[in-house]
Amino acid sequence: MNERLKQQLDFILEIDKEKNILRQTHLSGHGRRENDAEHAWHMAIMAYLLKDYANEPVDIAKVMIMCLIHDIVEIDAGDTYAYDTEGLKTQKAREDAAKERIFSLLPEDQKKELTALFDEFENYRTPESKFAHSLDNLQPLLLNNSNGGGDWREHQVTSEQVYGRQRKTQLGSETLYKVTDQILKENIEKGNIKEL
């Protein structure tokens, strides 16, 4: 086997560990906690299906790859819950170290390519990264709503917290933000999200 193929296969095996990283969000219909790989797969399918709702034209293949790789760093860094203020303070440093280690398993050209896509997603500047972030916000919201808001109640999430995160959805898709806003208002009314 040549060195390039060996590096690629090593990376492929390493990212299988993403299936072991559990998120705070539960599967639809009161299922178990989802893992990062399931979340990424779900987002990638959503990207393709919902591409017509992006605010700007997007390269959908690029969006789908961003969705698929955006949480690979959590293999080392762990999942940081969206409303964990302490964890968020160290998230970038943990994820940067993980990005360097994990993507370095690849041949140099592919390391550069995936690192650039990961950084583009994180920088939130391009139409693709904004749309991918909209999906990253919408996906757990849909699951949580399907579970009667249980995860929001369990973590005592406030309307200020959830809107602080979800308002960014409109940067990638005004249409999806309207759906998000409606779901949030319903869950605030039901008491699943605490209103301050």
The reported pLDDT for the residue numbered 47 is 98
The reported pLDDT for the residue numbered 100 is 98
pLDDT in tens, 43-96: 999 999 999 999 999 999 999 999 999 999 999 998 887 777 787 789 899 999
pLDDT in tens, 138-176: 999 999 999 999 999 988 999 999 999 899 999 999 999
Q: Give the CATH number of the domain where residue 153 resides.
A: 1.10.3210.10
194 domain-assigned: no
128 domain-assigned: yes
The reported pLDDT for the residue numbered 153 is 92
Cα 39 to Cα 9: distance, rounded to the nearest angstrom: 23
The count of domains in the chain is 1
196 domain-assigned: no
20 domain-assigned: yes
> HEC states along the chain?
CCHHHHHHHHHHHHHHHHHHCEEEEECCCCCCEEEHHHHHHHHHHHHHHHHHHCCCCCCHHHHHHHHHHCCCCHHHHCCCCCCCHHHHHHHHHHHHHHHHHHHCCCCHHHHHHHHHHHHHHHHCCCHHHHHHHHHHHHHHHHHHHHCCCHHHHHCCCEHHHHHHHHCCHHHHCHHHHHHHHHHHHHHHHCCCCECC
The reported pLDDT for the residue numbered 196 is 75
195 domain-assigned: no
Mean pLDDT of all residues in 171-190: 97
- Domain ranges, residue 70: 3-189
Whether the pLDDT of residue 137 is over 80: the answer is: yes
pLDDT in tens, 8-45: 999 999 999 999 999 989 999 888 999 999 999 999 99
112 domain-assigned: yes
The reported pLDDT for the residue numbered 31 is 85
